[in-house]
Amino acid sequence: MGDFERFLEFNKEIAEATLEIIRKFKGEETPKPERTYKLKLVEHILRTAGRPLHISEIIEMAQRDFQVTLERDSTVSALVKKVKSGQTFTRTAPNTFSLSKGDGHDS
């Protein structure tokens, strides 16, 4: 991920955090639970990589590039649930995941 992409992602995260604070002050619910956010982050990492990644690589990239800590067991569990339901992710090897073909993996 290049510097410009990191800059954009950083500013997006600031905007999302600001909106969350505004919603809290207004007494509104936050539309995205953290689990959904983290799966979207995994999806972004896989899309950017353009290849299957082992869970250890995904966790390392999330920490390095986004300063987000992913719990190994809960992330694998969430990914496996998506794989079993045929949504977004596929498993290419033990603890190795990729985007489903229909989810922009080949783009």
pLDDT of residue 23: 81
Distance CA 71, CA 92 (A): 20
Burial label, 2 (beta-carbon count in 10 A; 0-12, 13-18, 19+): exposed
pTM exceeding 0.85: no
Query: What phi and psi, each to the nearest 5 degrees, are found at residue 29?
Result: -80, 145
Mean per-residue pLDDT for 81-92? 94
Mean per-residue pLDDT for 64-86? 92
* pLDDT tens digits along 9-19: 888 888 887 88
3-state secondary structure at position 85: coil
Encoded tokens for 41: 């982050």
Mean per-residue pLDDT for 29-55? 83
